């Protein structure tokens, strides 16, 4: 059982051969502890070994073993080391005192004993003894702790003489504590085999500096051969007493494992950096935020950013990427690697904008950096300059796909483009033309002038062919004097004809080489997809065949593969030429067809219809030439002619006192022409014509397109005072909502409905619907193509009273219309 010091009762042993003395002593100390008695030195020793007293009050003069001998025996007994002895004696002279101290006594009590004084004296000694024991325990605990400290602790006094060290074996400084004790600081450090000269100097300097009262901290490298301690953190702690330097404590602790790890890490990092620095690719490492933490010299070179400027910048700042065009910014793959935590492969055609602004084509790969626990730590991007490689690849592919002499695409590229053009055309319902162009009698010329001039000729021919082409066209050379032109995205054959016409035109100018004149001609064969065939191979064969046909027919001409196309194209081509001529020579005429109010028989309006006779005087139908004029744009000048002629006639009728309207047909192309409204305004300004008498007939197709603009145009026309009529109403596909939004005056029921109205129920239903629609919107209704009386009656019954058609009046020239108008009312079919 452990008894704490407070609880423990002190044990007191009273020794005297005189029992009366013991009685007196007992009286004095009995309250202070447990008291034992002995009346001889022998008994005292025996009892002391048994009860282990804290304090012995010992008589000196006793028979047998006297007090001094008994004390000596107690003090030499290890079990009784802590036992204090006080001598009790009547004679206390110097000799006695000296002997008492020599044998280990601590105090004297005088006989006769004063009990009060004795009690106080014994109490003090018991207390002191207790404190002494406590101190001993504390000290041994401390010693124990220090001995087992995984550190070196040593103390040097103010004269720097070692007082203490906990390094019993000398594993720290190769000096055991025993050897160290009494040695000066500098001799210990100088003689320590663990310390280098430098370390010795460092430590002694630290000691000097610590005299100011400040703890010095330093790190030592130990050249220890025997122990595993290689690196130690040292603290030189000055101890101060009342502010005065009184010595130093040297503390060392082992930092070897830490340093070893740090060293390994540093080495690894250096190796890593060295590796990244010596590879040929640019490498940039970022943290989680995409801020740069490392870049290697190649990355510095490629980005134009020095490392010190680049660090901590975002990846986008240092490595901005754009697409091949150089305009569209690209997301840096590193961002994707960070956000999606995956490796991002090379982006195609990326360009890096360098700090200087120039662009470098790069190929890059980015990856996330994860630690052992798969936690994202940052990202890395590796990239290299592929400008040269890409240029080389481009050059190679250019060489492979182009003709060396003219630099035109060759057969391979043409093949590829043709295939794509056909696919596109199929999807978009367009046509593709292939033209085989062969220079007439080139072989003869070439043989006579030599190849170098021949080559120059071919080059300038190539240039002329290219000059005739549009952007989408491909002009290619297939060796010799054969050129093939691919004309994609055609809506009809005219574009091909336009190209070949321009081309032939080019050949009318002579080519000059070294002041030698060459008048060349060519023969061209044309084949059209999908009219002639459905694949590129046959397209070429057909065009080639057509080219031979052109040669057979006498060269310097073009020829279509298909006879049908050929005739149609020739016809259209001829017609186009004729329309141009008609414009110049004023061959267009206007016929008029009356609109009759069936209730009164009065002419309420006339429709102007264009007429053109061919060279032989035969009428060409507007249904034939208007669509062509719309395709080639001639409708604009033609439309202007119609407007002018009709307006002049209208003016004349107005002057004669007629007040019927004159309707003019406006083509969609005309309506959508930017200058249209201005043209109309100018015309009416020139003539002092009442615009209320003019009506424009527009098809649904024209106004269904662009509603905002359409509304503006229609309102401007209305603003001029014109009426608006929807021609061929019911045949368009548009929604009817425009009728409410746009200022429309008249609906013309298409002649197809009128024609079949009496035989076909659904046509009749449509006519009914149009009539009720027109009425509810408060629009005038005109029925077109009325040919019979039955139709007139039926329309009247339904409430449509204005009709136009052969039943009353065919289209007739101005002069005849004047006669017709003079008749006033018209009940029956046209008498003319
Ligand atoms: P449209 O505007 O629907 O003109 C009416 C067409 O029907 C005229 O043909 C006219 O001759 C014909 N027609 C009139 N009454 C009857 C009838 O009772 N029975 C039959 N079967 N047909 C009748 P045309 O003159 O040949 O004109 C054809 C189309 O050409 C016109 O159709 C119009 O779209 C266009 N057109 C005519 N002249 C011009 C013009 O000056 N400018 C524009 N842009 N187009 C015009
Ligand atoms: Ca019309
Ligand atoms: Ca019509």
**180 ligand 1 Cβ < 6 A:** no
Ligand 1 and 429: CB distance under 6 A: no
Specify the 3-state DSSP secondary structure of 254. Answer: strand
Distance 799 CA to ligand 2 centre (A): 21
Confidence band, pLDDT 50/70/90 cuts, at residue 828: low
Return the residue whose CA atom lies nearest to atom 3 of ligand 1. 728
Residue with tokens 């980005």, as numbered in its chain: 303
What residues have CB less than 8 Å from 77, skipping those under 6 apart?
Answer: 48, 49
Rg (C-alpha) for the chain, rounded Å, is 62
pLDDT at 58 over 80: yes
Which has the minimum average pLDDT: 47-56, 115-124, 533-542, 567-576? 567-576
Q: Indicate if ligand 1 lies below 6 Å from the C-beta of 344.
A: no
Q: So what's the pLDDT on residue 263?
A: 85
Instruction: State if residue 791 touches ligand 1 by the CB under 6 angstroms criterion.
Output: no
Ligand 1 pocket, residue 785 CB under 6 Å: yes
pLDDT at 609 over 80: yes
H helix and E strand count, the chain: 31, 34
Q: Is the dihedral of CA 242, 244, 249, 250 positive or negative?
A: positive
Q: Does the Cβ of 695 fall within 6 Å of ligand 1?
A: no
> Residue 470 Cα, ligand 3 centroid: separation in angstroms?
37
pLDDT at 740 over 90: no
The residue behind tokens 């809506």 is 491
| pLDDT band per the 50, 70, 90 thresholds, residue 1 | very low
* Percent of all residues in the chain with a pLDDT value above 70, rounded to a whole number: 97
Q: Identify which ligand lies nearest to the alpha carbon of 804.
A: 1
Does the pLDDT of residue 275 top 90, yes or no?
no
Substitution site in 590, 593, 622 for ligand 1 pocket (most atoms within 8 Å of beta carbon):
622
Q: Omega into 715 within 30° of 0, i.e. cis? A: no
Alpha-helical runs (H) found in 352-450: 387-401, 411-428, 442-449
Angle at 757 between CA 753 and CA 762, to 5 degrees: 80
Return the pLDDT at 311.
95
Q: Is 755 in the pocket of ligand 1 (CB under 6 A)?
A: no
The residue nearest atom 43 of ligand 1, judged by CA position, is 665
Measured in Å, residue 605 CA sits from the centre of ligand 3 at 14
Q: Which of 696, 778, 768 is closest to 730 using CA atoms?
A: 768
Positive/negative CA dihedral, 106, 111, 113, 117 = negative
Smallest Cα–Cα separation from 499: which of 535, 470, 475, 523?
Answer: 470
pLDDT of residue 2: 44
pLDDT tens, position by position, 35-48 = 999 999 999 999 99
Question: Mean pLDDT throughout 65-79?
Answer: 92
How far apart are the CA of 593 and the centre of ligand 2, in A? 10
Identify whether the C-beta of residue 720 lies closer than 8 Å to the C-beta of residue 686: no
346 contacts 284 by C-beta, under 8 angstroms:
no
Beta strands of 329-358 (E only): which ranges? 329-330, 350-353
Structural contact between residues 363 and 386, judged by C-beta atoms closer than 8 angstroms: yes
Protein residue closest via CA to atom 28 of ligand 1: 623
Ligand 2 centroid to residue 89 C-alpha, Å = 160
Strand-strand pairing, 589-597 and 602-613: antiparallel
**Cα separation of 263 and 231, whole Å?**
12
Query: Is ligand 1 within 6 A of the CB of residue 58?
Result: no
How many angstroms separate the alpha carbon of residue 352 from the centre of ligand 2?
Answer: 62
Q: Is the pLDDT of residue 3 over 60?
A: no
Global pTM?
0.49
Classified as helix, coil or strand, 242 is coil
User: 773-799 as b/e, with b when 16 or more CB fall inside 10 Å?
Assistant: bbeeeebbbbbbbbeeeebbebbeebe
pLDDT at res. 490 = 87
What is the distance in A from the centroid of ligand 3 to the CA of 663?
11
Q: List helix spans (H) across 10-114.
A: 19-29, 41-51, 67-76, 94-102
Q: What is the mean pLDDT of residues 102-111?
A: 89
Pocket lining: 727 vs ligand 1, CB cutoff 6 Å: yes
Whether the pLDDT of residue 733 is over 70: the answer is no
Cis peptide upstream of residue 530 (ω within 30 degrees of 0):
yes
Which numbered atom of ligand 1 lies nearest the CA of 664? Answer: 41
The closest residue, in CA terms, to atom 22 on ligand 1 is 785
What distance in Å separates the CA atoms of residue 155 and residue 153, rounded to the nearest whole number? 7
Atom from ligand 1 closest to the CA of residue 728: 3
- What pLDDT shows up at residue 70? 93
Q: How many CB atoms lie within 10 A of CB 45?
A: 20
Q: Residue 471, SS3?
A: coil
Report how far ligand 3's centroid is from the alpha carbon of 486 (Å): 40
- Give residue-wise pLDDT tens across range 673-702: 999 999 999 988 888 888 899 999 999 888
Tokens 């053109």 map to which residue? Answer: 612
CA 331-335-339 angle, 5° bins: 125
Which own/partner contact pairs does 104-108 have at CB distance under 8 Å and 24+ positions apart?
104/71, 104/72, 104/74, 104/75, 105/58, 105/71
Look at ligand 1, atom 41, and give the residue with the nearest C-alpha: 610
Average pLDDT for residues 389-408, to the nearest whole number? Answer: 87
Question: Which ligand ends up closest to the CA of 622?
Answer: 1
Which of the four pLDDT bands, split at 50, 70 and 90, describes residue 170?
confident
d(Cα 172, Cα 80) in Å, to the nearest integer?
A: 38
Question: Which tokens belong to 198?
Answer: 């430098």
Cβ of 829 closer than 6 Å to ligand 1, yes or no, is no
List C-alpha distances in Å: 420 to 415, 484, 505, 536.
9, 16, 29, 10
Closest ligand to C-alpha of residue 605 is 2
pLDDT at 278 over 60: yes
Q: Is residue 727 left, alpha or beta, with left meaning phi > 0 and alpha meaning psi from -120 to 50?
A: beta
Indicate if the pLDDT at residue 114 is higher than 60: yes
Specify the length of the chain in residues. 832
The whole-number pLDDT of residue 791 equals 96
545 with 507: CB under 8 angstroms?
Answer: no
What pLDDT does 327 receive?
86
Helix (H, G, I), strand (E, B) or coil at 592: strand
- Ligand 1 centroid – CA 800 distance (Å): 20
How far apart, in whole angstroms, are the C-alpha atoms of residue 42 and residue 93?
25
pLDDT at 801 over 50: yes
Tell me how far apart the alpha carbons of residues 301 and 285 are, in angstroms, rounded to a whole number: 15
Please state the rounded mean pLDDT for residues 358-362: 90
Which H or E element spans position 364? strand 359-370
Strands 329-330 and 511-513, bridge-based pairing: unpaired
Per-residue pLDDT at 829: 46
Tokens of 657: 């006192």
Listed range (99-113, 595-609, 614-628) with the worst mean pLDDT: 99-113
pLDDT of amino acid 6 = 54
In sequence order, what are the residues at sequence separation of 6 or more whose Cβ sits closer than 8 angstroms to the Cβ of residue 819? Answer: 832
Q: Which ligand is nearest to the CA of 590?
A: 1
Q: Considering the chain, what percentage of its residues have pLDDT values greater than 90? A: 57
Q: Which ligand 1 atom is the nearest neighbour of the CA of 642?
A: 41
Are 700 and 718 spatial neighbours (Cβ–Cβ below 8 Å)?
no
The verdict on the CB of residue 806 being under 6 Å from ligand 1 is: yes
C-alpha triplet 518, 523, 528: angle, nearest 5°: 145
Mean pLDDT value of segment 77-87: 91
Joined together, the tokens standing for residue 438 give 């062969």
- Please tell me the distance between residue 650's alpha carbon and the centre of ligand 1 in angstroms: 19
What does the pLDDT average to over 640-647? 96
Which structure tokens are listed for 393? 């690849």
Question: What is the residue with the minimal CA distance to atom 21 of ligand 1?
Answer: 785
Whether 290 lines ligand 1, by a CB cut-off of 6 Å, is no
Q: Directed axis angle between helix 115-148 and helix 19-29, to 10°?
A: 70
pLDDT at 662: 97
Average pLDDT, the chain: 90
511 pLDDT above the threshold of 80 = yes
Mean pLDDT for the stretch of residues 568-585: 90
When pLDDT is averaged across residues 259-271 and rounded to a whole number, the result is 86
Instruction: Using the predicted structure, report yes or no on whether residue 730 has a pLDDT greater than 90.
Output: no
CB within 5 A of ion ligand 3: which residues? 727-728, 784
Confidence of residue 338 (pLDDT cuts 50, 70, 90): very high
Å from CA of 750 to ligand 1 middle: 11
What is d(CA 462, CA 519) in angstroms, rounded to the nearest whole number? 15
């Amino acid at each position: 059982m452990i008894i704490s010091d407070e609880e423990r009762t002190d044990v007191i042993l009273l020794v005297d051969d005189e029992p009366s003395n013991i009685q007196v002593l007992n009286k004095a100390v009995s309250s202070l502890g447990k008291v034992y008695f002995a009346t001889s030195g022998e008994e005292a020793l025996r009892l002391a070994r048994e009860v282990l007293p804290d304090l012995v009050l010992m008589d000196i003069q006793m028979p047998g073993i006297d007090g001094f001998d008994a004390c000596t025996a107690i003090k030499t007994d290890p079990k009784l080391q802590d036992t204090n002895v006080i001598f009790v004696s009547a004679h206390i002279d110097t000799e006695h005192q000296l002997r008492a101290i020599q044998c280990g006594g601590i105090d004297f009590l005088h006989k006769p004993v004063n009990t009060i004084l004795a009690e106080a004296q014994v109490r003090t000694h018991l207390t002191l003894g207790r404190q002494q024991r406590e101190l001993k325990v504390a000290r041994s605990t401390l010693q124990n702790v220090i001995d087992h400290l995984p550190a070196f602790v040593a103390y040097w006094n103010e004269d720097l003489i070692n007082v203490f060290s906990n390094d019993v074996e000398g594993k720290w400084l190769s000096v055991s504590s025993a050897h160290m004790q009494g040695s000066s600081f500098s001799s210990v450090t100088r003689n320590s085999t663990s310390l280098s000269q430098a370390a010795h100097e460092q430590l002694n300097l630290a000691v000097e500096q610590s005299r100011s009262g400040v703890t010095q901290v330093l790190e030592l490298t130990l050249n220890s051969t025997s122990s595993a301690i290689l690196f130690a953190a040292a603290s030189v702690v000055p101890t101060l007493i009342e502010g005065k330097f009184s010595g130093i404590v040297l503390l060392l602790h082992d930092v070897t494992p830490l340093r070893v790890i740090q060293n390994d890490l540093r080495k690894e990092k250096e190796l890593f950096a060295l590796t990244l620095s010596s590879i040929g690719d640019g490498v940039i490492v970022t943290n989680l935020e995409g801020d740069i933490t490392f870049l290697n010299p190649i990355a510095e070179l490629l980005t134009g950013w020095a490392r010190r400027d680049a660090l901590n910048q975002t990846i986008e700042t240092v490595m901005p990427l754009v697409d091949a065009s150089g305009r569209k910014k690209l997301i840096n793959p590193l961002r994707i690697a960070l956000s999606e935590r995956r490796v991002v492969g090379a982006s195609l055609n990326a360009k890096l904008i360098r700090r200087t602004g120039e662009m470098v084509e790069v190929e890059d790969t980015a990856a996330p950096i994860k630690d052992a626990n798969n936690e994202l730590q940052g990202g890395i991007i590796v990239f290299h300059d592929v400008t040269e490689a890409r240029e080389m690849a481009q050059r190679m592919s250019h060489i492979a796909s182009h003709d060396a002499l003219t630099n035109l695409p060759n057969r391979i590229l043409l093949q590829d483009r043709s295939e794509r053009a056909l696919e596109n055309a199929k999807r978009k319902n367009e046509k593709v033309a292939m033209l085989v162009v062969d220079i007439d009698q080139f072989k003869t010329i070439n043989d006579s002038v030599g190849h170098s001039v021949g080559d120059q000729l071919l080059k300038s021919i190539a240039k002329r062919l290219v000059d005739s082409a549009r952007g989408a066209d491909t002009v290619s050379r297939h060796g010799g004097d054969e050129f093939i032109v691919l004309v994609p995205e055609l809506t009809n054959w005219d574009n091909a004809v336009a190209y070949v016409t321009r081309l032939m035109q080019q050949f009318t100018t002579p080519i000059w080489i070294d002041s030698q004149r060459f008048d060349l001609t060519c023969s061209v064969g044309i084949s059209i997809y999908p009219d002639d065939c459905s694949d590129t191979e046959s397209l070429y064969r057909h065009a080639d065949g057509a080219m031979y046909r052109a040669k057979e027919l006498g060269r310097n001409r073009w020829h279509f593969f298909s006879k049908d196309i050929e005739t149609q194209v020739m016809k259209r081509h001829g017609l186009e030429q004729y329309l141009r001529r008609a414009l110049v020579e004023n061959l267009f005429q206007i016929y008029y067809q009356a609109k009759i109010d069936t209730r009164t028989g009065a002419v309420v309006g006339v429709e102007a219809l264009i007429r053109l006779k061919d060279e032989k005087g035969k009428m060409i139908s507007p249904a034939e030439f208007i669509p062509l004029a719309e395709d080639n744009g001639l409708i604009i000048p033609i439309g202007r002619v119609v407007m002018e002629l009709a307006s002049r006639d209208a003016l004349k009728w107005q002057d004669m006192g007629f007040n019927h309207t004159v309707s003019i047909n406006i083509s969609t192309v005309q309506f959508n022409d930017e200058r249209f409204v201005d043209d109309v305004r100018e015309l009416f300004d020139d003539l002092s014509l009442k615009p209320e008498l003019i009506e424009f007939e527009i098809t649904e197709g024209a106004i269904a397109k662009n509603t905002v603009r359409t509304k503006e145009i229609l309102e401007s026309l209305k603003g001029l005072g014109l009426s608006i009529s929807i021609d061929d109403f019911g045949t368009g596909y548009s929604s009817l909502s425009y009728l409410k939004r746009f200022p429309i005056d008249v609906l013309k029921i298409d002649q197809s409905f009128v024609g079949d109205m009496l035989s076909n129920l659904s046509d009749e239903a449509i006519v009914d619907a149009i009539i009720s629609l027109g009425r509810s919107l408060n629009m005038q209704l005109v029925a077109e193509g009325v040919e019979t009386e039955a139709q007139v009656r039926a329309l009247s019954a339904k409430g449509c009273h204005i009709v136009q058609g052969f039943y009353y009046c065919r289209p007739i020239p101005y002069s005849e219309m004047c006669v017709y108008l003079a008749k006033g009312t018209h009940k029956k079919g046209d008498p003319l």
